[in-house]
Amino acid sequence: MEKIEVVFIPAPAIGHLVSNVEFAKRLRDQDDRFSVTVLIIDPLLEPKVQTYVRLLAASDARIRFINFPQMETDPLSNTKSPYIVGFEFLESHKSNIKEYIINHVLPNYAVSAALFVVDAFAAPMIDVANELSLPSYLFYTSGAATLGFMLHVVTRHDQVGRVFQASDGELVIPSFTNPVPCKVIPSLFFDENGGYIYTKNSMRRLKETKGIIVNSFEELEPQAVKSLVEYDIPPFYLVGPVLELRGHSSSMCDEVQNDEIMKWLDNQPPSTVVFICFGSLYCVVEPQAMEIARGLEQCGHRFLWSLPIRSPRNQGLGIRPSNCPNLKEILPEGFLQRTEGRGMVCGWAPQVEVLAHKSIGGFLSHCGWNSILESLWYGVPILTWPMHGEQQMNAFQMVKDLGLAVEMRLDYKLGDSDAVMADEIGKALNCLMDGDSEVRKRVKKMSEMSRKAVKNSNGSSFTSFARLTDLFLMGNANKP
């Protein structure tokens, strides 16, 4: 049987990789004629990506994972912005990837056609597809509203020709229902040398692709979807939520501790535990951990706290936090004894499995897009504490536009000197855990809609995915 080779090129970060791989698996489930290769560029920030890849490769032989070596020197050790380093890092791999495609994909006798699915943050790889005369599709792993913002940046630059400034105040961005305050705009858009130009130019390249794949669904972001139609871009396909629900992404967690976590949760009453986790890359510094602990004592709620830590001198984006250290050194004296029985502090936690557990009633989150989709899938309301990147915009959208999250902070950024104090945390947790809140009711309803979108044959994402795969199969790939 002739195959259509789909080559995925994710951005080198676990959140992007998981979404790309789950979409690839869905393609293979849809039709055996799809042959899938995922090109793994050794990550700058997340060395445990390889553990995740090994687990997947062992469990699903239908997908090939090809590793490309990391740079010899640590690119984050120089003085450039991490965003610029990231783009240059990807640029440096174009020739190796092109060579691999020429030598190992195109000569494959079983492949009748080939195409690229390129992560939005790996846009330089569009050049490889163009040079090989292969069609490319862009995979945007965040939501439609932030995609709309990226497109707005291009339009705005053509009008005003400059980066954002704090004095810009509130901005009218078509993909958001409410005016967006400058304080929630990602910091890179305020600094031309911090990735603004690179990101803007990457968005201009959308027109070189055959289509845009978005990890969201229409029922979640109706305003954003409506706004995208107004831009001069290729067809877009909302296929989400694309989620990894089988636990492979929890490979950085210790198996023994995972068992302890799940056993502890089994002994808690339904919907009574607040889960505190800031994703795989970001975490609070030690003084802030003290305030969280005091807030937890004040509010009195049951809690599961994932607490990898980094010291105050190692707050940088490229410094990976260590696993759970000596807790007695970073938490208030006697905290663990006083909260024994109603709270558990751990290192890395298996987020998907935790959110799926019946005892979880709320999620204090950094508002990464994968975390938002997972919490909605399981009907768990979020308390917003964004850290970096587009997370502030995600938090703003969830609270102000959609009413699907409880606000604690919308504009907090990693390394802020303005710490979130215990009183604020405790009061916000009480709001989050209100069992009769309107937010909780809306989240439960959206949970049902998210599942219907992908599982029902009439679901919006199910239908969009079918249209997209038909294009792949019916000639929107080129013969090698």
- CA dist 332 and 412 (Å) reads 23
H-helix or E-strand containing 381? none
Please tell me the total number of residues recorded for the chain in this structure: 480
Please give the CATH topology (third level) of the domain spanning 3-245+453-473: Rossmann fold (3.40.50)
The token duo for 231 is 């831009």
- CA dist 342 and 368 (Å) reads 27
Residue 477 has a pLDDT of 59
- CA dist 197 and 200 (Å) reads 5
Residue 410 has a pLDDT of 96
461-472 burial by CB neighbour count: b if 16+ within 10 A, else e? bbbbbeebbebb
DSSP string, 96-133: HHHHHIIIIITT-TTEEEEEEEEEGGGGGGHHHHHHTT
Q: How many angstroms separate the most distant Cα atoms in the chain?
A: 67
- CA dist 318 and 193 (Å) reads 18
Domain with CATH 3.40.50.2000 in the chain: 3-245+453-473, 254-446
pTM: 0.92
Q: What is the CATH number that goes with domain 254-446?
A: 3.40.50.2000
- CA dist 364 and 344 (Å) reads 15
- CA dist 41 and 71 (Å) reads 10
HEC per residue, 36-104: EEEEEECCCCCCCHHHHHHHHHHHCCCEEEEEECCCCCCHHHCCCCHHHHHHHHHHCCHHHHHHHHHHH
Over the chain (480 residues), the average pLDDT of each successive run of 10 is 88 87 93 92 63 72 81 52 75 90 84 90 93 96 97 95 92 98 93 84 92 98 96 96 77 77 97 92 79 96 86 42 64 93 91 96 97 98 95 98 97 84 97 94 98 94 96 71
The candidate with the shortest Cα–Cα distance to 273, out of 255, 253, 300, is: 300
The candidate with the shortest Cα–Cα distance to 350, out of 282, 266, 257, is: 257
